[in-house]
Amino acid sequence: MDKFQILGKATLKEALARIESNHHGVIFVVDDDGVVFGVATDGDIRRKLLKDGSLEDFISSCANTSFVWADLSTPRETLLKQLDHQIRAIPILNADKQLINVVSRSHLPVLGEERTYARARSPVRVSFGGGGSDLTHYFAAEVGAVINATITLYSHATLRLRDDEHIEIYSRDLNESLIAENLQDALNRECNFGLIQAILKVVQPEFGFELYLHSDFPMSSGLGGSAVVSAAILGCFNQFRQDKWDLHELAELAYQAERLYFGIAGGWQDQYATVFGGINFMEFRMEQNIVHPLRIPADILLELEESLVLCDTGNAHDSGNIHQDQQRHMQQENVQKKVQSNVDLTYAIRNHLLRGRLFQFGQLLNEAWQLKRQFSNKISSPLLDQIYDGALQHGAIGGKLLGAGGGGFFLFYALPFQKHKLVEWLGSQGLKIHPFRFDPEGLRTWSARESKHHQEANNS
């Protein structure tokens, strides 16, 4: 910065030589402590000499003490506007008013990269039909098909990289944390973070990090929560990759972590649903899984949204055990035929939705549930049957238990002028209603600058 500043007691001749060397036509005048107190241009010096000055006069004699300056917090937009408004160069001063940089029309550095953190949110799904046919042992021989929709209940993840190998994971859902020295230490811990450890085994991050997790829904809800959490975490790690995973790869990685590494039995639809988002008809074959987004008119979607009621039974379920039981029963020919009938219903549900025939859609929900509950004796229970039968008696024309079964959430379809009666009855049974809207976007990920948001927080 020496070529841009000069002591106030320096001569005009010395100042001109310094201006000549910096090629900016300006010099900043400082006192003995290096504090900038004025600015002089080559024009200021020339006018001084033409008036009554000499080259041996002090530069302080023609310095302008009322000048534009900035500090490191000055917005780039402001600097651009000032340079565009007859200002040749702007000194960047520190807290002690000492010169640390100079910006000009020819020298306005591009913003450097700052530390960022990643965020992700991934939605849960409600399934309308085809459950059980997305299990690999079923579609190894037949074609599986399901139809589902993502809704506005999410798992949220925030990931910040560290400069060391230290790992910290905080889960509000589990109300626990995992602190480890490095990746291997994190993978070897005996804890309740088995799913997250499986994801780390898939990702193999080569850096330390801090990970924060929370969800809008209870665990073991039948909403595909494990896949949703997995997708949110993978989405955060994906933000720091140069070669980003695509949607199919994200769904496959989530499946790999949950099914193969963590060892929980289950189907494929949850991972695809939360990553892709929207209302989808999915077909499963050994050679390829295909996700077909359904183009349903907006008014039909709104009517469907208003006609559905989501309620929590208050009973958690163990989807892994139920899916294992289904696998055993699936060997029976009569169960396989019931699953095939459920697949056929799924195609019919798709067609009714595309044509806006919602009454028939509601009726088929009932048929799909009656079939599904026969796949395994663990899917329903006397309590769940009581809730379902009561809902049919109080305004619902169909519905189903979401997920593998055994507990979690019921989804009911109610006629327009019967919905109030249904909601009132469910409430009288101590069941919690969860309002929702359809989520059309699926997994969302983004990054934010740490310094910007920390500064805003400190200034608030």
Burial class (CB in 10 A: 0-12, 13-18, 19+), 164: exposed
Task: Give the residue carrying structure tokens 């504090």.
Answer: 35
The residue count of the chain comes to 460
Residue 309 to residues 62, 100, 370, Cα–Cα distance (Å): 79, 62, 18
Q: What is the mean pLDDT of residues 266-293?
A: 96
* 207 token code pair: 């850096």
Task: Using alpha carbons, list the distances in angstroms from residue 438 to 147, 307, 433.
Answer: 14, 12, 16
In this structure, are residues 183 and 205 in contact, taking their beta carbons and an 8 Å threshold? yes
**Each residue's pLDDT tens digit, 218-249:** 887 778 899 999 999 999 999 999 999 999 99
* Contact status, residue 29 vs residue 6, Cβ threshold 8 Å: yes
Residue 30, number of CB atoms within 10 A of its CB: 22
Mean pLDDT of 300-311: 97
Residue 80: phi and psi, rounded to 5, are -60, -45
Strand spans (E) along 224-334: 279-284, 289-293, 308-312
Say if residues 156 and 117 touch (Cβ distance below 8 Å). no
In the chain, domain spans: 2-104, 117-433
CATH tag, 117-433: 3.30.230.120
- State both tokens at 25: 């036509």
Residue 460's pLDDT band, with cuts at 50, 70 and 90, is very low
Q: Is residue 357's pLDDT more than 90? A: yes
Give the pairing type, strands 289-293 and 36-41: unpaired
Query: If you average pLDDT over residues 11-23, what whole number do you get?
Result: 92
> Which one of 3.40.50.300, 3.10.580.10, 2.60.40.420, 3.20.80.10 gives the CATH number of domain 2-104?
3.10.580.10
